[in-house]
Chain A
Amino acid sequence: MAVKCLEIKGREVREKFKEIESFINTEHKLNDNQGMLMGVLHKTQEVFGYLPPEAMDMVSDRLGIPTAHIYGMASFYNYFTLKPRAKYQIFMCKGTACYVAGGGRVLEKLQETLGIGLGDMTPDHMFGLNITRCLGCCGLSPVMQINDDIYVRMGPEKVNAILDKYRKKETKKKKASR
C-alpha cells in the first residue's frame, strides 16, 4: 500500500510529514500498528488541522493498514475532520446552564464580530464557529472553548479581546517564520 507517486510539494508539508513520522517511530516502541492508528490520526489532525488523503496514504504506508480501513476509521469518529478546518475552533456552550447564564448573547456577538454562521469558517481560515453541549463546568458558565483553551464566565464584552489574542499570536508566528 505504498504511495510511491505521492508528490509532496513544499517544505512546510514535508516537515509536517516528518513530524508525523517521528511520532510513529516513538509510538512503535509502545504499540503495534493497529493499536497506534488512532493516536497517529490524532497527531495527523493536530499537525494538518484535518486529515488530508495524502496524510492518510502516508499513514497507511507506514503502518501497513489499507487506506480504505483508515478512511473508515477517520469518517467514523466525529472528532476527525476530512475537510480543512479553521486554525482556531471556537466552541460556544449552548447547554442549559450556559444558555441561561447568557451564552446565547455571547454567541450572537461572536457571529457578529466574525461575520460567519454556525459551522462556518472565516475566509482567512483563522476561526471556525461551532456550538457544543456542556463542557462539564456549569458552575463557571457561560463557557467557551477555543482549541484547548477554556474561557469561563464569558460575556459579549470579552469577545473582542480574546479573538485579538489569537490574531496577535498568528501575526507573531508569521513574522518569526520570515
Chain B
Amino acid sequence: MSDKKMINLTIDGQKAAVPAGTTVMQAADGIGIHIPRLCFHPKLSTAGACRVCVVEIDGQKNFPVSCATAAAEGMNVKTNTPAIREARRDIVELILDNHPRDCQICEKNEDCDLQELANLFGIRDLRFDGERKRYSTDFSSPAIMRDPEKCILCGKCVRVCSEIQGVNALSYSHRGFKSTVVPAYNMGIKDSVCIACGQCTLFCPTGALMERDNTEEVFKNLADPEKFCAVQIAPAVRVAVGEGFGYAPGTDLTYEIVTALRMLGFKAVFDTQFSADLTIIEEGHELIDRIKNKGKLPMFTSCSPGWIKYCEHFHPEFLANLSTCKSPQQMMGALIKTYYSDKSGVPASKMYSVSVMPCTAKKFECSRDEMDSSGFRDVDVVLTTRELIRMIKQAGIKFNELKKGQFDDPLGESTGAAPIFGVTGGVMEAALRTAYEVITKKQLPAIELKAVRGLDGIREASVDVDGLQVNVAVVFSLSNVHKLLTEIKEGKRHYHFIEVMTCPGGCIGGGGQPYPQGITDPLDHTLYNMRGEGLYSIDEKKALRKSHENPLIAKIYKEFLKEPLGHMSHKLLHTHYHARCPEGIPTEVREKNVNV
C-alpha cells in the first residue's frame, strides 16, 4: 500500500489520508465514521443499489453514493448534514413503502437491517403510501424459502450466489416496479440450480430469503406420546448457539445444549461427532483402498451436501471421484434406526429422528430419495442452529442458567478428530491423523496439521506416508471449487484427496448459523476464527484425538458393522450419486413452454 499515491480529503471536518482507489465509505470508516449502508458488503462487488449511503460532496450537484465514489484529492465530504439525513430517511421510507409492514410477525424481527435502519433514522411515520408489490412465497424447496414481497432488491443474494458460490441461481428479472430477484424462468427454487447452501439467507438484509422453518413440526412430534424423538447435533452448532444468548462466538456450549434438548423433550441425545469419527474410518479406508487398488483419484470428501448437489448439477464428470460415504448426519440417522433401535428395543417405526445442523442444505440432503437404507427415513427433519435457538427461547428455557448434560450411549462419544469437522481443513486433518497410522502402523509425529488450517480458499499440502507422498487439498466456497476442478481437468493440479466445504470457512460459516450480530458481517474472518478456535479447543481438550482410538467405534464394528467398507457399512453408511439433469431446468417447465 505504501507505494500507492496518497489522497488527502476532509470528511466532516476531519482530515484523512488514504491510498488512491479508496472509496469515500472506506475512508470514513478509517477515521471512525460509519456511513449507514444496506446493499454494500466488503467481500462482494459494489452495486450502489440501495442509495442509503449517500453523502454530500462540495462541488457535486447530487448526493453521490459513498460506496461507489472514489476519494479524490481535496474532496470535502459531509456525511451528517440535515439534507443528507433527510435524503437517507426518504430513501428508507420509500423502501418501506413497498415492503410488508408485518415486523411483529416476521421471523427476521430484530435481525433485519431494514428495520434497524428505519429505527436508526428515527422514522416514526410513513408519509408515502402507494401501490405495493404482491407476490406469493416460494415454498418449493425443502431448504430455502423466498418471499419476493419482502425483497428490497439490494442484490446481495445475487452477488453472493454468483461471486462466492459460483452457482448463479438468482438474478434480477423484469424492471422498474415489477423487478424481482428470481431463479431462471421464474421457476421455484427447488427446480432451479440452487444447491441449498443458504449463504443468501445470511446475506439477505430482510426476511426475503430464509430457511424453511421446521420448528412447529418438531414441537408437534415432541408432544406426541407415540413418538420416540432422538436428536443429534453437529460440531459447528455447539460453538454458535451461544450467539443467540449473548455468549461470544466460539463459546463451547456442547453440554448445555444437551440439557436444553432434553428439556425440549428429546428422549435420546446423540452426537454427530460420533458419526464423524465413523466417517473418518470409512472414508479413510476408502481412500487407502483407492490408492492401493488404483481406484478413481483424487477422492473428494462427501460430507457437505451443498457440494454434492453442486457436483451433480455442474460437474457430473467428477461424480465417481466423490467418496461414497454418506455424511455424518445421514450415517448417524441410519444407525439410530438400526443399531440403536435394536439396542434400546424402540422400534424404528416409532422413532422420529431430528438433527441440528449449521446448514440449510442438510434439509435437502435428508429429503433425498435414497437416504432410507434402514427401511425408514435416515433423518426425519433437520433444524438449523437458528431454529434451535428459536425453539429454546420459545420453550422458555433459561439457556444461560443450564447445567451440563451428557450424551446418550452408544452414539455419544467422540475423539478430538470429530469437532474439527466443523471448520475448513478439519475433515482433512482428521482423516490424515487416522490414515497415517492405519497405513504406517506408526504414531503420527505431530498431531496438529497446521498446513491444512487457515482461511485461504484453496490450500494444499503434501504428507509423507511411509515413503508415499500423499498430495491433499482443502477448498471452500464453490467458486474456489470450480477453479480447482477446472485446473484438475487441465492437468495443472494433481491430488490424492481433496476436502470440499460448500460454505466459506466450512460449517462454522454455514447457511444455517446465527445471523452475525453487531457490526460483524457474514464472511467476516474474525467471526470464523472465533468459531473455529472454539472447535480446535474442544479437540485440544480431548484425551483421544484420533478417530480410530474411539472405543465406541471399535465397539460398533465388533457388535454391528463388522468391518470398514464391509457389507453392513455399504448398506447403511454409503450411498451413490446421480447427475441431476437437466441442470436445474425442470422438464415440466420445458414441456409447457415449448411448442417444438
Q: Which A residues lie at the B interface, using CB under 8 A?
A: 1-6, 8-10, 12-13, 52-54, 56-57, 66-72, 75-76, 84
Least CB distance, B394 to chain A, in whole angstroms: 36
Closest residue to A10 on the B side, CB-wise?
B596
How many angstroms from the CA of A8 to the CA of B175 in the assembled complex?
31
Residues of A within 8 A of B583 (CB): 1-5
Please give the distance in Å from A6's CB to the nearest CB on chain B: 6
Given A57-B582, A68-B193, 8 further pairs, Cβ under 8 A: A1-B583, A6-B582, A53-B585, A66-B168, A68-B192, A75-B173, A75-B175, A76-B172
Are A67 and B175 in contact, with the CB atoms below 8 A? no
CB-CB under 8 A from A2, the residues of chain B are: 583
Are A76 and B582 also in contact (CB < 8 A) when A13-B596, A53-B593, A54-B596 are?
Answer: no
Please determine whether B162 and A66 come into contact, CB atoms closer than 8 angstroms.
yes
Residues of A within 8 A of B1 (CB): none
Among candidates A9, A10, A56, A76, residue contacting B175 with C-beta atoms closer than 8 Å: A76
A22 to B172, CA, bound (A): 29
Q: In the complex, which residue of chain B has the Cβ closest to the Cβ of A71?
A: B184
Q: List 14 A-B contacts (CB under 8 A).
A: A5-B582, A6-B582, A53-B184, A54-B594, A54-B596, A66-B162, A67-B585, A68-B184, A68-B193, A71-B173, A71-B185, A71-B186, A72-B173, A75-B173
* Closest-CB distance, A142 to chain B (whole angstroms): 30
Nearest CB of A to B167, in Å: 8
Q: Residues 568-596 of chain B: 1 if any A CB is under 8 Å from the residue's CB, otherwise 0?
A: 00000000000101110100011001111
Kindly state whether residue B215 has any CB partner on chain A within 8 Å: no
Given contacts A8-B596, A53-B593, contact A66 B171 (CB under 8 A): yes
Partner of B168, one of A9, A69, A84: A69
B183 in the interface, Cβ–Cβ < 8 Å? yes
User: Does the CB pair A9–B171 fall under 8 Å?
Assistant: no
Q: Which residues 526-583 in B have Cβ within 8 Å of A in the complex?
A: 579, 581-583
Collect the chain B residues with CB atoms within 8 Å of residue A10's CB: 596
Q: Mark B137-174, 1 if CB is under 8 A from A, else 0.
A: 00000000000000000000000001000001111111
List of A residues within 8 angstroms of B186 by Cβ: 71
Contact B171 A72 (CB under 8 A): yes
Asked whether A69 lies within 8 Å of B171 as measured between CB atoms, the reply is: yes
Q: Is the beta-carbon distance between A52 and B171 smaller than 8 angstroms?
A: no
- In the complex formed, the residue of B with least CB distance to A3 is B582
Select which of B172, B192, B581, B585 is within 8 A of A72 by beta carbon: B172
A151 to B594, CA, bound (A): 33
B585's contact among A57, A75, A76, by CB below 8 Å, is which? A57
Q: Is the CB of B170 within 8 A of A53?
A: no
Q: What chain A residues lie within 8 Å of B314 (beta carbons)?
A: 1
Cα distance A84–B186 in the bound complex, in angstroms = 17
B328 CB to nearest A CB, Å: 31
Residues of A within 8 A of B168 (CB): 1, 66-69
Q: Which B residues are in CB contact (< 8 Å) with A76?
A: 172-175
Q: CB distance B184 to A67 under 8 Å?
A: yes
- Interchain CB contact under 8 A, A68 and B169: yes
- Chain B residues, Cβ within 8 Å of A70: 184
Top 8 nearest A-B pairs (CB, nearest first) are: A66-B168, A5-B581, A68-B171, A72-B171, A67-B184, A5-B582, A68-B184, A75-B173
Contacts of B579 in A (CB 8 A): 4
List of A residues within 8 angstroms of B590 by Cβ = 6, 53-54
Query: Does A68 lie within 8 Å of B170, measured CB to CB?
Result: yes
Scan residues 15-73 of chain B and give those whose CB is less than 8 A from a CB of chain A: none
Docked CA distance A129–B545 (Å): 75
A54–B593 CA distance with the chains assembled, in angstroms: 9
Q: Which residues of A contact B169 (CB under 8 A)?
A: 68
- B195 CB, nearest partner CB in chain A, Å: 13
Contacts of A53 in B (CB 8 A): 184-185, 585, 589-590, 593-594
Collect the chain B residues with CB atoms within 8 Å of residue A4's CB: 579, 581-583
Closest chain-A Cβ to B513's Cβ sits at a distance in Å of 25
Complexed CA–CA distance, A107 and B594 (Å): 31
Q: Tell me the nearest residue of chain A to B178, going by C-beta.
A: A75
Nearest B-chain residue to A55, judged by Cβ? B594
CB B153 to nearest CB in A, in angstroms, measures 12
| Residues of A contacting B595 in the complex (Cβ-Cβ under 8 angstroms) | 84
A10–B594 alpha-carbon span in the complex (Å): 12
Residues in chain A near residue B585, CB distance under 8 A: 3, 53, 57, 67
CA distance A13 to B595 in the complex (A): 10
Report the minimum CB–CB distance from B173 to chain A (whole Å). 4
Contacts of A9 in B (CB 8 A): 596
State A150–B476 Cα separation when bound (angstroms).
58
Complex: chain A residue closest to B592, CB-CB:
A53
Give complex CA distance A69, B166 in Å.
13
- Chain A positions within 8 Å of B182 at CB level: 68, 71
